[in-house]
Amino acid sequence: MSANTAMADKYRNNFLKEIEEQVEMGDWVKMCMQCGVCSGSCPTNFQSAWEHPPQELFMMIRAGKREEVLTTTSMWNCTSCYNCIVRCPRKLPITHIMHGIAEYAHRLGVAPKMQPTRFFSGLFWKNATKTGRVNELKLSMGLYFKDGLVQGIKNGMAMQAVALGLVKAKRLNVMELFGGHKCKDQKGIQSMLKKAYEIERSRKAARMAG
């Protein structure tokens, strides 16, 4: 049984409870009063990028629309601008809930595979935690080559002027490809993060067991 089916089975007919127990800040969802200020404050929703803007997602969660919520590309449009958070009259930490739902969908393996921000988000975290510090060159290269070599070269060509400008201004170092900045205690960082994932997993399992 996949992780997704296991969770769907466990929380059958109570998607709100599933979100409350498994998603960061998920217990805030029930506080939404459907005013829509979040949706009206969202920069990418202004560009009609969200299939379901935040307040709609909150209602869909309450209505048990599990598959629609977890598989939508909507919350992956979050730019982390925090405008929804500061404007919400009921003080819901909306940005964190959006990240939380996205992370949960990603964890269950049901998030849209080709969504570029989902891909970039994972890439960023792995890049940053591998050595303890971000390697900007490898990060950009990893993104360009996500759809294969040919597309990668095309993407690289399209970004040539931008990259060249940065290299000239000494704000992009081609030598980063062969090493680059890093923390001294990488081993300590790896073990501490491994432990953190273990604890988080066991906390979530305990919540599910009730």
Residues that bind another protein (CB under 8 A): 24, 43-44, 47, 49, 77, 79-83, 85-87, 95, 99-100, 102-103, 106, 111, 116-122, 124-126, 128-129, 132-134, 136, 139-140, 143, 161-162, 165-166, 168-173, 175-176, 181, 183-185, 188-189, 191-197, 199-200, 203
Q: What's the min distance (Å) between Cβ of 188 and another protein?
A: 3
Cβ(62)–Cβ(30) below 8 Å: yes
Would you state the structure tokens that stand for residue 87, as one six-digit string?
């404007």
Report the alpha-carbon distance of residue 30 to residue 61 in Å, rounded.
9
Our CB check for another protein shows the closer of 12 and 36 to be 36
Report the alpha-carbon distance of residue 40 to residue 56 in Å, rounded.
12
Q: What's the min distance (Å) between Cβ of 13 and another protein?
A: 26
Q: What's the min distance (Å) between Cβ of 77 and another protein?
A: 7
Cβ(76)–Cβ(51) below 8 Å: no
DSSP 168: H
Q: b/e map of 126-147 (b: 16 or more CB within 10 Å)?
A: ebeebbbebbbbbbbbbbbeee
Our CB check for another protein shows the closer of 120 and 145 to be 120
Q: What's the min distance (Å) between Cβ of 198 and another protein?
A: 9
Cβ(150)–Cβ(157) below 8 Å: no
Our CB check for another protein shows the closer of 1 and 175 to be 175
Q: What's the min distance (Å) between Cβ of 33 and another protein?
A: 20
Our CB check for another protein shows the closer of 6 and 162 to be 162
Angle ∠(168,169,172) on CA atoms, nearest 5: 80
Report the alpha-carbon distance of residue 196 to residue 39 in Å, rounded.
33
Our CB check for another protein shows the closer of 64 and 155 to be 155
Q: What's the min distance (Å) between Cβ of 20 and another protein?
A: 14
DSSP 171: -
